[in-house]
Amino acid sequence: MKYVVVSGGVLSGLGKGVTASSIGVLLKSAGLGVTAIKIDPYLNSDAGTMSPFEHGEVFVLDDGGEADLDLGNYERFLDITLGRDNNLTTGKVYSKVIESERKGDYLGKTVQVVPHITDSIQDWIEDVAHKPRNDTGKLSDVCIVELGGTVGDIESAPFIEALRQFQFRVGTDNICFIHVSLIPVMGPVGEQKTKPTQHTVRELRGLGITPDIVICRSETKLTEEAKQKIALFCHVKSNAVLSANDVSNIYRVPLLLDQQGALVLLSQKFNFKIPKSRPLLDEWMDMATHVDDLTEKVTIAMVGKYTGLSDSYLSVTKALNHASFAASRKLVIEWIEASNLENEVEKSDPDLYADSWRRLKDADGVLVPGGFGDRGVEGKILAVEYARKSSTPFLGICLGLQVSIIEFCRNVLNWENANSTEFNDNTPYPVIIYMPEISKTHLGGTMRLGSRKTIINDKNSLASRLYHGLDYIYERHRHRYEVNPDFMNQIESAGMKFVGKDDTSQRMEIIELKNHPFFFATQYHPEFKTRPTKPSPPFYGLLMASSNQKIPNYSENQF
């Protein structure tokens, strides 16, 4: 097993996840099997209870693991399926060690960070790296380990020490350290400053890890002078100092690194041959060029409650992008705060209210994503009502399906006070209810999570067309509330169809609206399984409908 460890310095948010994923693409293009591990130094057991404002979206895996959004980057870039153990946190490590101590596994020894915590980290990495891949059942050849945070953080110290020891456990020929750092530009002459990178590499070396490759994030291409200075002061060869400058789209990052010899450096380190033909990289080149060539725009209004931080909806954004590539359209997202559509805002800030409604009505399609809590719910209901009445293409996800049901019951069935028990325990029409098996006292990992089966029960439905005529599908879930089956018949008799259900036929998974060009909502989160060349079917449908293109029958679907 070979290991590539990606760390970061100077500041967070440099794009370590994209860098790690891009390195994985290059290794995969050489015919190697790749898996990935993300290390998050926070004390939380997982990302499940963290606010999207705090940490971005919670990415849900097939096995129900709630993980850091970088695992989404790995799955999308590498087209692999990961599990909860591919995300390692301080909370998980300490819980495991304390549990072992309570059982007496340490035979009375004093339990310490070194060696017990550091050994546990190393064991975890090795165990996960040697698990067969879900897609092929084969062992991977390379495991990419991304260390979250910034070198020098107190939280990262045990992981840095574990990785220092790990290089001797697996052998220095089997591990490659890549350090991602910032190259700022200062002053009117625009000189690239290397001092921050020098300092972070010096700190990393002081902790016992010498990077084999330094990748420099900058707006423009790294100058030869800056490159030579980094090589001199950071103890790396000049050809191992790579520029990760801004590119036209994210799919050019693997190509950029490849042009500078990143795969050659890895092949020399790990002693493998690079094949003359690499079809995977040719596909990436075609895709990156196609994305750059898109000119005809399609605008989607994203009506949510976390619109102040786009990372809160990262997978939704990626799913929209991937669908726009397949629809040959340049995507424009109008971020609309749901609460700004509500009547109270019209009184307190009429300009903001008017602008929010103008942008909603100017959009070609409307998307209401998932979320928790009652803030902005009435605004989402108003957005659904607008999309339904104006025949604007609409996609609802999770809470988006639930507010679609509420809106339909209020305005079509005239159940004025219809609501979810999440927002009103005493509603006379509880059309959305708390799932009976879900804990009300513990939040972490207690929802209906992970990949679940949905049976498509109508061959003439949009769902059947979008999902290639399949009788059933598997999609990922993350919710505590569901459609109340007691109201199903009345809702269906009024024109809203439940075309997808679970095995029991009691849990509603997909709704469609008759006599509407595209009104589609899902209880599951289809965005978690999107891929650049294989867009999520509901998102593909939304983009095709929003750009006035015919949604092909599944037999015609080529993506």
Q: Which amino acid is at 166?
A: F
Alpha helices in 6-156 (DSSP H): 16-29, 52-55, 70-78, 90-102, 118-129
CA-based nearest residue to 509, from 546, 461, 557: 461
| Tokens found for residue 446 | 């207690």
Q: Which one is catalytic: 477, 479, 516, 525?
A: 525
β-bridge partners, 302 = 335, 367
Cα–Cα dist 266/274, whole Å: 10
| Tokens found for residue 487 | 């109201």
Task: Specify whether the CB–CB gap between 8 and 151 falls below 8 A.
Answer: yes
Return the CA Rg of the chain.
25
CA-based nearest residue to 142, from 174, 164, 173: 174
Q: Which one is catalytic: 176, 216, 234, 398?
A: 398
Task: Specify whether the CB–CB gap between 138 and 35 falls below 8 A.
Answer: no
End-to-end CA distance of the chain: 34
378 counts as catalytic: no
For residue 268, the tally of other CB atoms under 10 A from its CB is 13
Cα–Cα dist 460/138, whole Å: 39
Task: Specify the DSSP element, H or E, that contains 106.
Answer: none
Q: How many residues does the chain have?
A: 559
527 counts as catalytic: yes
234 counts as catalytic: no
Task: State the residue for tokens 């009184």.
Answer: 347
Task: Specify whether the CB–CB gap between 535 and 559 falls below 8 A.
Answer: yes
Quote the distance between the C-alpha of residue 375 and its chain's center. 23
Cα–Cα dist 404/499, whole Å: 15
Task: Specify whether the CB–CB gap between 7 and 179 falls below 8 A.
Answer: yes
Catalytic annotation, residues: 398, 525, 527
